[in-house]
Structure 1
């Protein structure tokens, strides 16, 4: 078969369980043997049974269209707890017709609060102190008949929970239900437990900890921000072979007890006393005599939404690489990688032996264990042995950011530690990996690995700033600057969809945007470049995944943010009032200041223009003509006001900082000769600083982009490969395995930046990745067609510093790859495009007469190449799907 339909998804996910009631959006990928393959038509069938396609619920018939992503279902409205099956076939531009795809499915959850028969439950406060530190255990036994056909559990909790059935944990997710704007939205999870049930006695149980709902949050040691009572909500639906149904729900007939987890907090860790274990407490035959009763709690049901984000899971395990005895005598494990997650330990010890693990990111310059940068976060786990052979334990409801683990109390520790008894379990939102990058410069490759590890560590249900100290909050500014890099490395569509809905829920009535989402900072809000996440992130999701529905959903939030800005300034078109973080951590800051020298009103007005432009663009995509006109006009007026205020009549940017020049170029705020002068002066600022940057959080993401785009690509490359402070590779040479918060988090003499704010896993400066992928490797999207439907392939070769680079990206249409090699004599570029996409390829330095593709001259035509022409920059080609190898000598 020359055309194959594969990789079916609903809402970007394969076979999703527990969806909402919105019409699903279908996607699929094509596989084809011929170059230049485009889809010309599709047919989708949806049925209510796997063998029901002879009587489908919905059949599009042969539909003339090239759409193969985000195709909206238009059949009968989905109903609750229903599994729907679908299949797809396609036709191509060569007259080919595929077979039907394999059958895929999606299954809805509980779509109405009226369908929840369960009640929120918590231990009876007359028997168990509702504010007690130990984790609650809640359970119930129930009887079932034989011949169970299917069974689903719908469950959630405030704060975080683990679900158990018949003695085993259900599912592999961790820290469910995740962190949302709990007053407005609370996710519930759906579990298929068909194979876990048995005829006769069964048991259902929940462990319930504080989590983000009730536990300590922020550096101000706040707790109970959403409520002071933990509670669980559980509803089990069992369907028998004859179609009858039985429902088991959480209610006051459940029993409750305090378990062996004596303490558990996100920041501080966990204490587990194995001597207090409850036995097979979630089995049906467990004797719960002596347990307390459960009590119902009046909590809202209207806020419940099905799981939206990727679940948080253990995604990798790593072993310690070394045991260290520090100069001060501490016993320390080196994991070899700054990671986020937990340690699983195994131990044989007498009852009552307490093994204590404390977690840290770095050692100090003397080689001792360093926890100063954790501030009040304890990051400590304690396991108390029960004395029964080999015991294995990992914490349940906390996570740590660490490379080093100080161990105390382990038997025989005076002689060292057995490395095989400790395993690092890496935890983050289980996003599929989508992008790859590598090049000929090994330090740059390590930088890319650091970017990826930084994203993994901080994309744990929300996009946190850091994973170790007493913060771990969803800072909007960090998310905004990193979103494009993030969306290359991983599929972050569901991740940011969930977070954006929380942003809209926590947005102020006047359109202001909190500094962190979910909002836990007592109303502080609306800094330029931070609040702009309300606009930048939805646009990035549309551009990357073609998610027009999310763009429409967030559009009111986007407008509200820009309208908020418009109401703030002393002038309607300048933003020169209020608090702003400015160019946070810019190196041109005054002494003892975190804020760079670029004027805050310049930054604020630049982002005002940028967000107004993106709202205009979104309105055009959504067909909202009046909004497009309104925000287009606003954009023009803000740009004019910026130029009048911050660009001199001779074309000079009023602020002599790198970041000021970067923003003027990136957001098209300087034009004509003023633009050329701005680029020249930015280049001179960098040359005068001996090819070192001074930018902070605001300027750094765009610095190399604007240099490459304005004739100074060599300067951008020099910044990339710069190894002395300040630079990206300085931290790499200092042994970093993640991105640092400060350019000099560890100084050349081994001393540290101030304890008060010195994370060694802080992804913002990792935004350089976006330039590596789009510009150095040359794998970019054409903004005229979202989701890489039309790619722009334009490798920017690496001069004397890079001789090769490769990037690959698994787009919604399929895998795109670009690689190049260059020497002083010739260049070779390989391109691979999936079916149903096209690309514009620019081969710099090439001449058409000398260009060969897979050994054949390009002039005269080749399969898949629609056009080829010489330009001032090189050969520009229009190509279709397929694999190409271009070779040419340097002119």
Structure 2
């Protein structure tokens, strides 16, 4: 019997506080029956989870659609909860029971729904870096049915209600293009309210709004005053309602947090703590009245992506005394978050924790690569009993922590690493027979954990931590295998559109906080086109294309206008093949001609825009951009391909891009493939590619029949290689191939992050080629997909899993001692897959011991020169041959 489960609204389980006018719901089907396909659905919506009456009934809708079903029939009311349930039919006529009820709840939908005032501490009372406290009391005299808080801030905020923290979100309201878009959060606080006296409290931090940003430590990028905006909506059992809001009745005082900066850390003086300050009955007579600010509210919108949460805890593995006499704890993992610690001492005693990623070649604490970022926590004890502390408005990137002021009797149990990142659903994994490659996979995952803290940052430790567009587009497909990143990137892409120049140019970083001229490099600005297309491909999300289409088109038209020859991009600044190993001495830019790279990405973005226009049925645009792509491709060949068919730019990256973006064909393609392999042979199968070439290198090799070369690259352990970092003890991906040189010295001080996910894009090849799972461009979201594993020398087994929108996809292969193959695949209900079994012979092939003709679920069998291709319906299969 099939079941309908995992109901989601806008990717989320029972979300509250959404403001999308036409919410979309998705579901999965659980069935052991092979080749299970949905033929119809039935949706009901009610205000009551038992569905005694209906607001809307879809009746039976004949379709196989089970993801992103848009609900357009009703006008949804602010603050209201809506329950929904689903039943489906199979193409064989099976009817399921109703699913369990799920719900979504609307937030505040219009600027007029905001009655509250922005409140702020008066200026000049305390130090400009101090984090103010805010509070007010109120009374409740009737039994409460439901209560919701809607809150946001200029800066960061943490809320308390009757002394208890509201919610488990951190770094709220998140980082957006604040002048255009400011998120608010919604909290269910029904259980926190008391009959009688109550109190609300808030603490404000500088955050991205007014804290120091970029390598220049620029303060007040968005504004000079932190502020808070909140409404508490209470519905009583008798049907009446109240709204408690921020206004001039609130008061403010100095907090113990004397300084809190994202890069520099936090200073906390526990002697300044105000006991029970967020509880009812607290005497706030000496507190100051807040200022109300005339700041606009028209940029407010509901939380779009998953919030940052505490995800896991790490126990230190060692207490070290370095050669220079420093006391250091080793967490054993390069992580992002902070340390929770316990200390006991006298009043006024100060302890400090400094954070670093690595030790130097002598084993001493090393911070030069942090540049100006201090990453230091200072805590002044109130004295007496043991005191436990953790920061609020800062985060650090670190493995090692240097301790000062703790005394001689330090115990590792006093310290715990708290890992924070955007709470994205974990969706995929990869494992294989080589533990070094498994460590590489671990490092890719932890690079994503460390750099997906509300925005896709380049690095989480030095004075940067910015949403670099190039890094994001290079890694997006890898990231989507490991976690559900659709809401995360959708929110970021909306900021990209908001910060996009009127000319269509795209800033280097999103949100845009660099100089006004810092925009529109090839492969960086192309994130405007590549990222929406990838989200559409991987999640079947057509809406992201609709929302971003004008931004995508504006970027392509910007390039079109910049070019002296409208079919070549040979103007402007470009990062080129950033950190390519064939760079000139003293340069970060690789040897590949930047006009070559720019024109290649120009062609790529135009091709994706043409495909997008076709998906959106913008036929005129589709035809126009298809023609433009042909013209760019012709111009590329005239400019960069010799009459004999040789690429004029003789670098690994040039050949990778020409092949990946299908810019050459015929003899020129054959020569490019041959030359790429020749270049690798000349380097004894070591790469020289940088940020632009590396993500595609192994993919191109596999696509052109040279998976053996890709495996040779993977298994190199000397510099430069992915596994070289493993030999040096890396637990995350490095920014530079030799961040730590073979003699233990460092490559650089100003550009040497040890947690920088870009080169982790090799993960896409591991999942897509080694394990073999990849999407079908014509059936996005894995409605139809391919499983085509490519076993290679060096591995005896590999497997990958992916929780798609439809359910779990799994691919595993194992080469047995007699060289026979065992391949297992899982295909979720309501999907199909094309499965290629390498080097198989149909006559020798068995599924669970049976001949293929006897096997249910196999819909087509096609022998090829390279094996056997099968079309499979849903189910779990085991093939041996």
Q: Quickly name the TM-score band, shorter chain normalised.
A: over 0.9
Mapping for residues 438-837 of structure 1, pairs under 5 Å: 438-523=431-516, 524-799=518-793, 801-823=794-816, 825-837=819-831
Name the CA distance, whole Å, in 2 between partners of 1:277 and 1:676: 71
Mapping for residues 219-298 of structure 1, pairs under 5 Å: 219-298=215-294
Name the CA distance, whole Å, in 1 between partners of 2:128 and 2:659: 56
- Structure 1, 103-112 or 642-651: larger mean CA deviation: 642-651
Confirm or deny: 8 A CA contact 1:21 1:79 kept in the other structure: no
Name the CA distance, whole Å, in 2 between partners of 1:268 and 1:219: 12
Name the CA distance, whole Å, in 2 between partners of 1:181 and 1:825: 56
The answer to whether structure 1 residue 406 and structure 2 residue 402 are counterparts is yes
Confirm or deny: 8 A CA contact 1:320 1:333 kept in the other structure: yes
Name the CA distance, whole Å, in 2 between partners of 1:133 and 1:756: 27
The answer to whether structure 1 residue 10 and structure 2 residue 9 are counterparts is yes
1:494 deviates by 0.7
1:388 deviates by 3.0
Mapping for residues 110-125 of structure 1, pairs under 5 Å: 110-125=108-123
CA deviation vs aligned residue, 1:589-644 (integer Å, no higher than 9, x gap): 11111000000000000000000000011111111111111111111111111111
CA deviation vs aligned residue, 1:469-524 (integer Å, no higher than 9, x gap): 00000000000100000111011011001000000000000100000000000221
1:811 deviates by 0.2
Name the CA distance, whole Å, in 2 between partners of 1:736 and 1:723: 13
1:185 deviates by 0.3
1:869 deviates by 2.0
Q: Name the counterpart of 2:336.
A: 340
Q: For 2:562, what is the secondary structure of its paired residue?
A: coil
Q: Name the counterpart of 2:78.
A: 80
Name the CA distance, whole Å, in 1 between partners of 2:485 and 2:696: 21
The answer to whether structure 1 residue 423 and structure 2 residue 423 are counterparts is no
CA deviation vs aligned residue, 1:744-787 (integer Å, no higher than 9, x gap): 00000000011011000000000000000000001111111111
TM-score normalised to structure 1 length = 0.98
CA deviation vs aligned residue, 1:82-130 (integer Å, no higher than 9, x gap): 10000000001222100000000000100011111100000233x725x
The answer to whether structure 1 residue 366 and structure 2 residue 359 are counterparts is no
1:54 deviates by 4.3
Name the CA distance, whole Å, in 2 between partners of 1:405 and 1:732: 22
Q: Name the counterpart of 2:39.
A: 40
1:428 deviates by 0.5
Name the CA distance, whole Å, in 2 between partners of 1:884 and 1:93: 21
Structure 2, unaligned stretches of length 5 or more?
A: none
Name the CA distance, whole Å, in 2 between partners of 1:79 and 1:606: 48
Name the CA distance, whole Å, in 2 between partners of 1:248 and 1:282: 15
The answer to whether structure 1 residue 432 and structure 2 residue 446 are counterparts is no
Name the CA distance, whole Å, in 2 between partners of 1:651 and 1:445: 40
Name the CA distance, whole Å, in 2 between partners of 1:115 and 1:779: 46
Q: For 1:141, what is the secondary structure of its paired residue?
A: strand
CA deviation vs aligned residue, 1:692-739 (integer Å, no higher than 9, x gap): 000000000000000011111100000001101000000010000000
- Structure 1, 654-663 or 667-676: larger mean CA deviation: 667-676
Name the CA distance, whole Å, in 1 between partners of 2:868 and 2:121: 72
CA deviation vs aligned residue, 1:154-176 (integer Å, no higher than 9, x gap): 00011000011000111111110
Name the CA distance, whole Å, in 1 between partners of 2:128 and 2:664: 60
1:798 deviates by 1.7
Name the CA distance, whole Å, in 1 between partners of 2:634 and 2:152: 51
CA deviation vs aligned residue, 1:663-697 (integer Å, no higher than 9, x gap): 00000001012111101110010011001000000
Name the CA distance, whole Å, in 2 between partners of 1:779 and 1:132: 53
Name the CA distance, whole Å, in 1 between partners of 2:184 and 2:384: 37
Which of these residues, 125, 128, 139, is aligned with residue 128 of structure 1? 125
Q: Name the counterpart of 1:210.
A: 206
Name the CA distance, whole Å, in 2 between partners of 1:612 and 1:179: 30
Q: Name the counterpart of 1:27.
A: 26
Name the CA distance, whole Å, in 1 between partners of 2:55 and 2:870: 44
Name the CA distance, whole Å, in 2 between partners of 1:712 and 1:72: 44
Q: For 1:566, what is the secondary structure of its paired residue?
A: helix
Q: For 1:644, what is the secondary structure of its paired residue?
A: helix
Mapping for residues 161-240 of structure 1, pairs under 5 Å: 161-240=157-236
1:887 deviates by 0.5
Which of these residues, 366, 377, 383, is aligned with residue 379 of structure 2? 383
Name the CA distance, whole Å, in 2 between partners of 1:651 and 1:441: 40
Q: Name the counterpart of 1:871.
A: 864
1:74 deviates by 2.1
Q: Name the counterpart of 1:316.
A: 312
Q: For 1:567, what is the secondary structure of its paired residue?
A: helix
Q: Name the counterpart of 1:109.
A: 107
CA deviation vs aligned residue, 1:134-160 (integer Å, no higher than 9, x gap): 111000000011310000000001100
Confirm or deny: 8 A CA contact 1:57 1:75 kept in the other structure: no
Name the CA distance, whole Å, in 2 between partners of 1:249 and 1:856: 69
CA deviation vs aligned residue, 1:387-410 (integer Å, no higher than 9, x gap): 131110001100000000000000
CA deviation vs aligned residue, 1:242-286 (integer Å, no higher than 9, x gap): 110111010111000011011100000001111100111111211
Which of these residues, 346, 352, 357, is aligned with residue 353 of structure 2? 357
How many equivalent pairs are there?
A: 879
TM-score normalised to structure 2 length = 0.99
Give the alignment's Cα RMSD to 1 decimal.
0.9
Q: For 1:674, what is the secondary structure of its paired residue?
A: helix
